[in-house]
Copies of this chain bind each other. A is one copy, B any other.
Amino acid sequence: MTERKRLSEHELATTLTSLNGWSIVHGKLHKEFKFNDFIEAFGFMSSVALIAERMNHHPDWSNVYNKVVIDLMTHDLGGISMLDVEFAGRVDRLLL
């Protein structure tokens, strides 16, 4: 499976261009989301939780009121893999 390979820096740089607003922070694929209020923020989180469980791949994430921060990495590879990129893409598509 391609997904299980840790991406090189070059691969990462290329892949980032296919995503919307994600960057690399502390070795993780990182994005901050802002909503109108907590109801919208937690509604979003509920959708992301279903994606996470479906993919059996779980984010490091936090929330304060209308803000949600998501950090993705593939822990058993110690880095970012295509699984994280796929996850990020699915999250972005929630907000289209």
**A65 interface residue (CB < 8 Å to B):** yes
- Kindly supply a per-residue 1/0 record for chain A positions 48-63, scoring 1 wherever the CB is within 8 Å of any chain B CB and 0 otherwise: 0100110000111111
**Which B residues are CB-close (under 8 A) to A52?**
38
- Kindly supply a per-residue 1/0 record for chain A positions 11-27, scoring 1 wherever the CB is within 8 Å of any chain B CB and 0 otherwise: 00000000000000000
Q: Are A63 and B64 in contact (CB under 8 A)?
A: no
Bin the interface of chain A by size: 10 to 19
Q: Are B53 and A38 in contact (CB under 8 A)?
A: yes
**A42 interface residue (CB < 8 Å to B):** yes
A23 to chain B, nearest CB (A): 19
- A: residues with CB less than 8 A from B are 38-39, 42, 45-46, 49, 52-53, 58-65
